[in-house]
C-alpha cells in the first residue's frame, strides 16, 4: 500500500470511529439486535454448525447476545485469540460461554489459548468480521493491525460477513492486494449481497 492510501485509510479510520462513537449506547444495542434478526434470516444461518464471532469492543456492533443465541441454538462458536501481541497472528478458539473470555489483548476480550479448542478455518461455516468502515464492494477499514486480513486468507469469501451500522457504509474505500473483502454486509436496515453463494 502506498503512502497516499495509508494516509487515506488513517483519515477514514479517524472520521468513522468518531461517527460510530457518537451513536448512543441504547441505539447501538437496538441496531445490533436488528442485525441479529438479519443473521437469523440467512439461509446460511440454518445450516451453520460453527461460526466465528469477534468479541465486540468500544462502539462496534454488539456481538455478546449474538454469541449467546448461537450457543443456545446448539451451534459451536469460535472467537479470535492473539497469543503474542504484535506478531500479526490470530487463532480461532472455541468457547462454551462468554464468561470464558476474560483476558484482554489491545483492550479486547479473549479466552485463554487452549490448543485443544483451536478451530480450523475449513471447519468454520460463517465468519463475522468487524470493521470501522465498509464499502459496497465488501472492502473494509479496521484498526490497522492486519490481524483479520492475514487470518481470512484462504477462507471462502461467501463465508465472510461484515457487521456494521448504516453510518459505517461508504461508496468506495482504498484497498491493497492483501485486503480481503467480505461477501455480505449486515446492517440494522438491510443485508447487502456482494458475492452470490
pLDDT confidence tier of residue 6, bands split at 50, 70 and 90 = low
CA dist 150 → 32, 99, 194 (Å): 26, 27, 21
Mean pLDDT, rounded, for 120-131: 97
Least confident of 4-18, 20-34, 128-142: 4-18
DSSP bridge pairs for 118: 93
Q: Is the pLDDT of residue 3 over 90?
A: no
Q: Is the pLDDT of residue 63 over 70?
A: yes
**Predicted local distance difference test score (pLDDT) of residue 179:** 81
**Predicted local distance difference test score (pLDDT) of residue 144:** 77
CA dist 117 → 95, 99, 106, 174, 179 (Å): 8, 16, 22, 36, 28
The residue that leads in pLDDT, 143 or 134, is: 134
Mean pLDDT, rounded, for 68-84: 96
Sequence-separated (6 or more) residues with CB below 8 Å from residue 132:
12, 13, 16, 17, 20, 140, 141, 142, 143, 168
What is the grid cell recorded at 114? 487452549
Q: State how beta strands 184-186 and 160-163 pair.
A: parallel
**Predicted local distance difference test score (pLDDT) of residue 197:** 43
Question: pTM of whole model > 0.85?
Answer: yes
**Predicted local distance difference test score (pLDDT) of residue 112:** 92
Mean pLDDT, rounded, for 21-34: 97
pLDDT confidence tier of residue 104, bands split at 50, 70 and 90 = confident
Q: What is the pLDDT of residues 149-189, one digit of tens each?
A: 899 999 999 999 999 999 999 999 988 777 899 999 999 99
Q: Is the pLDDT of residue 21 over 50?
A: yes
Amino acid at each position: 500500500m502506498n503512502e497516499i492510501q495509508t494516509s487515506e485509510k488513517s483519515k477514514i479510520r479517524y472520521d468513522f470511529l468518531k461517527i460510530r462513537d457518537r451513536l448512543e449506547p441504547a441505539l447501538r444495542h437496538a441496531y445490533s439486535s436488528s442485525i441479529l434478526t438479519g443473521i437469523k434470516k440467512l439461509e446460511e444461518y440454518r445450516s451453520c454448525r460453527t461460526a466465528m464471532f469477534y468479541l465486540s469492543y468500544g462502539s462496534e456492533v454488539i456481538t455478546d447476545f449474538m454469541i449467546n443465541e448461537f450457543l443456545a441454538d446448539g451451534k459451536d462458536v469460535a472467537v479470535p485469540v492473539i497469543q503474542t501481541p504484535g506478531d500479526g497472528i490470530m487463532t480461532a478458539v472455541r468457547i462454551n460461554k462468554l464468561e470464558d473470555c476474560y483476558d484482554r489483548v489491545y483492550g479486547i476480550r479473549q479466552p485463554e489459548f487452549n490448543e485443544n479448542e483451536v478451530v480450523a478455518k475449513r471447519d468454520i461455516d460463517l465468519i463475522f468480521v468487524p470493521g470501522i468502515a465498509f464499502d459496497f464492494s465488501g472492502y473494509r477499514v479496521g484498526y490497522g493491525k492486519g490481524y483479520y486480513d492475514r487470518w481470512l486468507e484462504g477462507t471462502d469469501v461467501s463465508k465472510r460477513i461484515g457487521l456494521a451500522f448504516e453510518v459505517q457504509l461508504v461508496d468506495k474505500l482504498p484497498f491493497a492486494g492483501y485486503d480481503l473483502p467480505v461477501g455480505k454486509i449486515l446492517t440494522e436496515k438491510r443485508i447487502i449481497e456482494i458475492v452470490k453463494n
